[in-house]
Amino acid sequence: MIEKGFPMKHNKNFIRAFVAVLLSVCLLLGGAAPAAAASTPVAEAERVLTRVAENAKIPLEVAGRDVQLAKTNGADQDFVLDSLMGVLGHVLNIVVEAVFDLGAAMLGLLPRSNALPSVQEYVSENFYAGSAARRSEPLPGAVWRMGYDRQLLTPADYGEHLYYKGGSGGAPWGLGLPLEGKLDDLYVRTVAVDAGSGTVLFAVLDAVGISNADVRVIRAALEPFAKAHGIISVNVSATHTHSGIDTQGAWGWMGRVLHQPLDVLRQLAQGGIGSLVGTDPAFMEFLTAQTVKSMENAVAAMQPGKLYFAQKSITEPDGTPRYFQYRGIDLNLINDVNRLRFEPAPGSGGKPILIANFGVHSETIGVDDEEKRLSADFIPYMEAVVNAAGDDFIFIQGALGEMVIPRRAPSNDDVVANRWEEARRYGEELGYVLLGLSMTQAECEATVVDKAREAADLAAAPAGSYSPWYADWVAAPEQELEPILNIAHKELLYYSDNSVMNMASRFPILNLIALRDPARPNETVIVTEVGYLELGRTVRVLLSPGETAPELIVGGDTLRAATTFRREDFPFAPLNEAMGDGEVLLVFDLINDAAGYITPDNDYGLMVTKYYKGEASFNTIDLMFSPGHTGASAIIGAFLDLYAQTP
């Protein structure tokens, strides 16, 4: 199994073997290498890189850029190793892309294959543009109004009907795993919010993700209600649990082939290859109905009140991230835990609503090779803590990025537990963090801390190894937001050069809105959406259609040429730098699509090889699913266009 972001630790034997293999390839491709060894790292890099490019007859622009960087900035052994790793990655990319391009071409020749409509034929349907007018001041007499609802997504026939797990873990990438048993139920949670100029809906599914095409199916089912109730924006997202029912089709299609071959053959005979999808049609109909019901109920439950915002960056005293980490090589993280808290007006009869936002993969349970039980991962345990305090709860994913995963598992405190217990502990603790975000340590200990739980964890850990979540706690400021709500969406048609995406669009296991442009036959045009949300005078939100790399928001090495796979600078500065004075930028990920990993253009590749910070790494996240080489710049550019229209 190829792990996403799999690291190979610095090892002299590995490095020697790698260089020997690469130089052997050079010899096989183009004859003997020069006998005289290069005397400097720059000359060594230039000799090896140029020879690979010439002998393999591959236009590796990275070779020339590497050498120029070395001459300008100086070079050391790490630079040479990174250059060699970069060449290997580019060679691998060319081979892999050729394989998938060939597969796409062959699928296109099959009778009744998935014939994509052209860009010229595309007609946009079930798209919401957002606010009719952008306001910089509250409307006269405006107040916040918010409503909440939760509906069950676990189907009634679960345990009798065969459902497939959506998410990694088990067989290669978790493909085709039947779900067996249940740890907890799946739900859709919805908030409806208004400040006087139209209602905005956010529904979040306990699922790995949902495509823009399926979002538009939900909107179509809601349309009569939306028109009658002044709804200006309908947004559907996912908690990204890797232990739910497959809602994208990327995993379930293999399960159907392995476990229901006769049904697959019957479907192919009747509808051709263009009819084979990976999701369960009956379940998707149920999901649509439950989501629409939740949206309608949330609108009906709207009450007046006040909206508050608090944000806290949570790290250990030495600056080490406490709750989030990268799988593999450490890159920039966003350690912020964000909370929007709605307090209903006295006498309204409503309950407080807590909206949690931070970016982390919900995969603590799902990546276990043996765990096939249905679960929403840590989400229900976080919800249980918040519910016990009297609040309704919804979680909206933040910048998930290139494998941001949970950090504060029991193993970090030497408390032994299985993965299910890790998810429980992680969720419960983040629930306490959310409740205590704007409290002092003394207030947390008096009103939030579960003393029995803390005592049990302390007793289970070796002496001195356990650190309570509230240790050295400093209250985060909480601000009341004025009732100003602006939201805008942009329909984005981007050209994807991801060869995996190109093949997937012709073998429609994924329910994509995919188009073709006769003028650019080697690319697939994918339809998605980008959004911009304003809450009050200070809170700004990127509504992103995929899993956003945190460095696109806060900056980092993968935006600079010298430390990226393609040796180019990213065309935009970090989004935080584009915000005005006093503005805070949040990310709501997987909103209205599941477009995959949004990797900076300059660090994109189906197989990315690097030597970085003393480690050699092999990264295949974009091979899993990604909008392609220019996906990140297209999404960031669209967001900046929307932000520029701020009054």
CA separation for the pair 501, 628 (Å, rounded):
8
DSSP label at residue 87: H
Predicted confidence at residue 438, as pLDDT, reads: 97
What ranges do the domains of the chain cover? 6-97, 144-481
Low-confidence ranges of the chain (pLDDT < 70): 1-81, 108-114, 170-173, 328-331, 369, 409-416, 613-614, 646-647
DSSP label at residue 565: T
Q: Which amino acid belongs to residue 295?
A: M
Q: In this predicted model, what pLDDT tens digit does every residue of 70-110 receive, in sequence order?
A: 555 555 556 666 777 777 777 777 778 878 878 777 776 66
Q: How many CA atoms lie within 13 A of 58 on its CB side?
A: 21
**Structure-derived torsion over alpha carbons of residues 173, 427, 353, 487, reported in degrees to the nearest 10:** -40
Angle at 437 between CA 434 and CA 441, to 5 degrees: 120
Gyration radius (Cα) of the chain, Å: 25
SS3 486: strand
Q: Which two tokens stand for residue 190?
A: 């919805």
Kindly give the pairing relationship between strand 165-166 and strand 231-238. Answer: unpaired
Angle at 503 between CA 501 and CA 504, to 5 degrees: 60
Instruction: Specify the residue for token string 């584009």.
Output: 578
- Give yes or no for a contact between 232 and 198, defined as CB atoms under 8 angstroms apart: yes
Q: Residue 283: is it exposed, middle or buried by C-beta count within 10 angstroms (0-12/13-18/19+)?
A: buried
Phi, psi of 516 (to 5 degrees): -125, 150
The overall longest dimension of the chain from CA atoms, in Å, is 87
State the DSSP string of 127-155: ---B-SS--SSPPTT--EEEEEEEEE-S-
Residue 470, C-beta contacts closer than 8 angstroms, at least 6 positions apart: 432, 436, 441, 444, 445, 448, 449
Strands (E), 198-293: 199-205, 231-238, 244-245
Angle at 428 between CA 427 and CA 434, to 5 degrees: 90
Closest CA to 484 of 647, 257, 321, 280: 647
Strand partners, 315: 321
Instruction: Specify the residue for token string 């970016």.
Output: 359
Determine the straight-line distance between the first and last CA of the chain, rounded to whole angstroms.
50
State the DSSP string of 58-78: ---HHHHHHHHHHHHH---HH
